[in-house]
């Protein structure tokens, strides 16, 4: 009996061992050229051998920060997803979202924001905590003419709050007032951020007016918390959906972008997605931005204000929060650096050589308004009407066009699965393009992948996968295996938020918990 039992074991055990051997994870490596600076400061090229992430590790990285939420309201279901993948360590992007149930009746104010930091994540992280609340507070002030706006407290400070201009793409009436309020919130928040170190220094000098020397504040508890968000910088793009009044506002400061996909059915039962670009890339390569910058400064600076598509030849976005290096005078920068950083090991870059008449960079957003198209009736066996908005940092737009993004999300919502050859996607997911996007970059990167991958349930992670390789898993593995700081030469931090909605049943969800900070707490966070 034992002899008969041994025979099947002799077959099964080697087979199992063989399966384990050929399918066990193996350490794989690849050679990667890197540029490094030697002791003499000169850059040289060398080759590093790096571990190659497995397919499972790549999937885990793409989905690590991917989240998705659903909010059900009578007759409509709202979804929103967010995902991010870092190139810097730590990531310099940030995101925020908030749903506020309105007091006067049905409807919500839905806020979604994506922040693209540079020079560190200090400014973007701060904005992720306070930007939406700052806008909500400014909108609340519209209800009462007697309510004192929190921006009034800035009038007697060192910095005067800039006034919004009329570059608002909105119809007369309420949309214009809302857009102006959003501009005020952006401007006032940045004014607070930029003024914070000045206030700390002024407070220290008030203690001993007989001593005119610059104090050493490097150990002050507010030294770095006030200086770092001011010296770092961040673009920001914010979408506000007013579901009761059916208004959509998109406020853009910098070179992040928002696009909308609008499903337009046809009489033959087919249809297409209309691509609507909801923002402009605000860099020196945008002719309108370059012209505005030159108008705002003396004619003798015309050659330097925008040089090589960048502000004073350095900063790419022409609008941003923080970036005090382009907003403070040369003397103020030197004074604050001596006061806050001379006693520490932190250094800041000196002012740009051609800085003469700051500020050169503004946080004032361009606000665009659209009618929010919603399905009026719940689904009843008919094809559902789908709409969506994509907000993303420029790391996504470096890789994908607005049309690519709408096709990828449209195909995802239409249920595409597996690998789709790139030329075929335009046929499977037809699009019509509205106004062309204003490209703020010299050119998009062109990856060699021949196919798009439809394998992620989260639409935001789906976009990031296809930006970095799609169906070409080997290219995707190599790209995501490059560690910081070398990764930044091949890809950027990417953060994506997708908002989509569809007709639903009449059952509403419970109240959505949301946090709104009092005005003094918003300022205290700075």
Q: Give residue-wise pLDDT tens across range 1-22.
A: 444 544 444 444 444 444 444 4
Total of domains in the chain: 2
What pLDDT does residue 84 have?
98
Given a cut of 60, whether residue 171 has pLDDT beyond it is: no
231 or 515: which leads in pLDDT: 231
pLDDT digits over 96-114, tens only?
999 998 765 668 999 999 9
For residue 391, give both structure tokens: 């907000």
Mean pLDDT computed over 375-398: 73
**Do 258 and 300 reside in the same domain of the chain?**
yes
Distance in angstroms (rounded) separating the CA atoms of residues 193 and 425 = 45
Mean pLDDT computed over 280-294: 95
Mean pLDDT computed over 186-209: 90
Mean pLDDT computed over 418-446: 86
Mean pLDDT computed over 273-298: 95
* Nearest residue to 365 (alpha-carbon basis) of 228, 263, 238: 238
Q: For residues 482 and 490, is the Cβ–Cβ distance under 8 A?
A: yes
Percent of the chain at pLDDT > 90 equals: 62
Instruction: Please provide the DSSP assignment of 491-511 as one string.
Output: ---EEEEEEEEEE--SPPPPP
**Do 59 and 149 reside in the same domain of the chain?**
yes
Given a cut of 70, whether residue 94 has pLDDT beyond it is: yes
In terms of C-beta density within 10 A (0-12 exposed, 13-18 middle, 19 or more buried), how is residue 508 classed?
A: middle
Distance in angstroms (rounded) separating the CA atoms of residues 234 and 304 = 22
What pLDDT does residue 173 have?
67
515 or 384: which leads in pLDDT: 384
Place of tokens 């959906």: 241
**Do 90 and 117 reside in the same domain of the chain?**
yes
**Do 237 and 267 reside in the same domain of the chain?**
yes
Identify the three-state secondary structure at position 88: coil
For residue 334, give both structure tokens: 């030197």
**Do 502 and 395 reside in the same domain of the chain?**
yes
Question: Tell me, what CATH number does 450's domain have?
Answer: 3.60.40.10
Given a cut of 50, whether residue 169 has pLDDT beyond it is: no
The DSSP code for 217 is -
pLDDT grade for 164, boundaries at 50, 70 and 90:
low
Out of 115-124, 140-149, 278-287, 450-459, pick the least confident.
140-149
Mean pLDDT computed over 180-192: 97
Residues 361, 365, 368: CA angle, nearest 5 degrees: 150
Given a cut of 80, whether residue 366 has pLDDT beyond it is: yes
For residue 33, give both structure tokens: 């050229």
**Do 15 and 134 reside in the same domain of the chain?**
no
Out of 210-219, 307-316, 483-492, pick the least confident.
210-219
**Do 158 and 39 reside in the same domain of the chain?**
no
Place of tokens 């209800």: 143
How far is it between the farthest Cα atoms of the chain? 104
Mean pLDDT computed over 478-486: 94
Mean pLDDT computed over 321-331: 97
For residue 70, give both structure tokens: 């659903």
**Do 262 and 399 reside in the same domain of the chain?**
yes
Give the number of other CB atoms < 10 A from CB of residue 229: 27
Name residues whose C-beta falls within 8 Å of residue 238's C-beta, 6 or more positions apart in sequence.
Answer: 111, 112, 113, 131, 132, 135, 182, 250, 251, 365
What pLDDT does residue 93 have?
98
pLDDT grade for 368, boundaries at 50, 70 and 90:
very high
Distance in angstroms (rounded) separating the CA atoms of residues 116 and 123 = 9
Supply the range of the domain harboring residue 29.
Answer: 2-51
**Do 43 and 68 reside in the same domain of the chain?**
no
Identify the three-state secondary structure at position 53: coil
**Do 343 and 448 reside in the same domain of the chain?**
yes
**Do 40 and 119 reside in the same domain of the chain?**
no
Q: What is the pTM of this model?
A: 0.86
**Do 127 and 145 reside in the same domain of the chain?**
yes
Distance in angstroms (rounded) separating the CA atoms of residues 341 and 215 = 11
Of 13, 33, 51, the one marking the end of a domain is 51
What pLDDT does residue 95 have?
98
Distance in angstroms (rounded) separating the CA atoms of residues 337 and 351 = 11
């Amino acid at each position: 009996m034992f002899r008969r039992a041994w025979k099947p074991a002799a077959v099964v055990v080697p087979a199992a061992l063989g399966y384990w051997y050929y399918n066990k994870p193996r350490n794989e490596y690849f050679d990667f050229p890197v540029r490094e600076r030697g002791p003499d400061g000169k850059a040289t090229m060398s080759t590093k051998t790096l571990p190659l992430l497995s397919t499972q590790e790549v999937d885990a990285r793409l989905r690590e920060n991917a989240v998705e939420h659903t909010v059900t309201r009578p007759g409509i279901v709202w979804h929103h997803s967010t995902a991010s993948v870092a190139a810097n360590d730590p990531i310099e992007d940030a995101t925020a979202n908030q749903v506020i149930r309105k007091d006067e009746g049905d409807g919500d104010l839905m806020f979604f924001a994506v922040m693209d930091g540079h020079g560190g994540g200090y400014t973007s992280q701060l904005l992720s905590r306070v930007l939406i609340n700052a806008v909500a507070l400014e909108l609340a002030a519209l209800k009462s003419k007697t309510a004192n706006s929190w921006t009034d407290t800035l009038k007697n400070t060192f910095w005067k709050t800039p006034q919004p201009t009329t570059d608002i793409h909105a119809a007369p009436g309420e949309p214009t007032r809302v857009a102006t309020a959003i501009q005020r919130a952006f401007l006032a928040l940045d004014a607070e951020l930029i003024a914070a170190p000045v206030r700390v220094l002024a407070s220290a000098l008030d203690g001993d007016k007989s001593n005119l020397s610059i104090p050493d504040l490097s150990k002050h508890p507010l030294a770095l918390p006030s200086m770092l968000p001011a010296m770092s910088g961040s673009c920001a793009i914010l979408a506000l959906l007013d579901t009761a009044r059916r208004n959509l506002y998109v406020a853009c400061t910098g070179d992040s972008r928002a696009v909308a996909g609008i499903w337009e059915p046809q009489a033959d039962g087919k249809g297409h997605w209309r691509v609507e670009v909801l923002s402009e890339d605000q860099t020196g390569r945008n002719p309108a931005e370059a012209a505005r910058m030159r108008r705002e400064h003396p004619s003798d600076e015309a050659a330097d204000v925008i040089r090589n598509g960048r502000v004073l030849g350095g900063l790419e976005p022409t609008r941003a929060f923080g970036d005090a290096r382009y907003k403070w005078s040369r003397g103020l920068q030197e004074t604050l650096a001596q006061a806050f950083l001379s006693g520490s090991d932190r250094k800041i870059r000196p002012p740009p050589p051609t800085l003469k008449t700051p500020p050169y960079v503004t946080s004032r957003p361009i606000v665009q308004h659209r009618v929010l198209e919603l399905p009026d009736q719940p689904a009843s066996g008919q094809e559902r009407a789908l709409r969506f908005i994509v907000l993303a940092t420029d790391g996504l737009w470096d890789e994908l066009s607005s049309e690519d993004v709408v096709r990828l999300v449209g195909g995802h919502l239409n249920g595409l699965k597996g690998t789709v050859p790139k030329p075929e996607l335009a046929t499977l997911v037809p699009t019509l393009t509205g106004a062309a996007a204003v490209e703020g970059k010299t050119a998009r990167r062109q990856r060699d992948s021949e196919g798009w991958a439809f394998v992620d349930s989260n639409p935001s992670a789906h976009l990031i996968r296809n930006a970095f390789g799609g169906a070409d898993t080997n290219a995707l593995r190599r790209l995501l295996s490059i560690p910081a700081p070398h990764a930044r030469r091949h890809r950027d931090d990417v953060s994506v938020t997708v908002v989509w909605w569809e007709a639903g049943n009449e059952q509403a969800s419970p109240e959505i918990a949301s946090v709104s900070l009092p005005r003094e707490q918003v300022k205290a966070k700075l």
